[in-house]
Amino acid sequence: MDDLLKALPGLLEGLGVTLYLSIPAFLLAMVLGSMMAIFRVSRVRSLEVLGTLYVEGVRNSPLLLILLLLVFGLPDVGILLPLELAVIIGLGLYSGTFVCEAVRSGINGVDVGMVEAARASGLTTRHVISEVLLPVALRTMIPPLATVFITTVLSSALAAAVGVTELTGATRVYNLVAAQPFVAFGIAAAGYLLINLLIGWASAKSERLLRFNQ
């Protein structure tokens, strides 16, 4: 128990690092993924190809491979990034493919008739997108995007493998001293659970707020 109290600051710091990695990574994924999704539904051939290459290329590699490439490969060609930044970029690139698919199916799921009604009313393409297509699509995207966020948080554990002491890494350090793997990793699991419950709660809340039939 004493050991645990002593280890707590380290574990909390690990939890902080996990957030520090996964929140910016998710934001990067949102920006990149939304852009790529718009490319993929743009009906502009070159943009569609770019979007498809990104999704298929990145999603079909193990995240660990991407992280190893960014952390150990880039310096080899003369690009030196801070370790955390490299992890954030890798994680963002990877999660971006799932954001892309969530946004794309959200857009494709919007009732065509409604978009036609907007066009038929004389709205310009810009207003059809900003006033009708995106607001309606966004609501259907909230649950899948929350899932991507949760996956991003869990995937950030792989950062431990390239030497970042986030929650999983911190737990491993603690376990080396205390040799109580079930306690140690149980605490880490509780940490992840806490973050993910928060995300799930926020998702359900915003979905309720934006619900159509009120």
Partner 1 sequence: MMTNMSERSPSQGAVIELKDVEKSFGATKVLTGVNLSIAKGETVVILGPSGSGKSTLLRTTNRLEPIDSGEIWYHGKPIPREGRELAAYRAEVGMVFQQFNLYPHKTAVQNITLAPVKRGKQKPEEARARALRLLADVNLSEHANKRPGALSGGQQQRVAIARAMAMDPEVILFDEPTSALDPEMIQEVVHVMKRLSADGMTMAVVTHEIGFARESADRIVFMDEGRIIEESDPESFFTNPRTERAQEFLGKILNH
Binding site for partner 1 (CB under 8 A): 111, 113-114, 116-124, 127, 131-132, 135-136, 139, 210, 212-214
Name the minimum Å distance from CB 102 to partner 1.
19
Name the minimum Å distance from CB 184 to partner 1.
47
Name the minimum Å distance from CB 135 to partner 1.
5
Q: Which is nearer to partner 1, 5 or 120 (CB)?
A: 120
Q: Which is nearer to partner 1, 78 or 113 (CB)?
A: 113
Alpha-carbon distances, residue 206 vs 72, 79, 140, 150, 202 (angstroms): 40, 40, 11, 16, 6
Name the minimum Å distance from CB 131 to partner 1.
6
Name the minimum Å distance from CB 206 to partner 1.
13
Q: Which is nearer to partner 1, 138 or 178 (CB)?
A: 138
- 3-state SS string for the chain: CHHHHHHHHHHHHHHHHHHHHHHHHHHHHHHHHHHHHHHHHCCCHHHHHHHHHHHHHHHCCCHHHHHHHHHHHHHHCCCCCCHHHHHHHHHHHHHHHHHHHHHHHHHHHCCHHHHHHHHHCCCCHHHHHHHHHHHHHHHHHHHHHHHHHHHHHHHHHHHHHHCCCCHHHHHHHHHHHHCCHHHHHHHHHHHHHHHHHHHHHHHHHHHHHCCCCC
Q: Which is nearer to partner 1, 61 or 125 (CB)?
A: 125
CB proximity list for 184: less than 8 A, separation 6 or greater: 171, 172, 174, 175, 178
Name the minimum Å distance from CB 153 to partner 1.
29
Q: Which is nearer to partner 1, 56 or 116 (CB)?
A: 116
Q: Which is nearer to partner 1, 82 or 122 (CB)?
A: 122
Tokens 């970029």 found at: 89
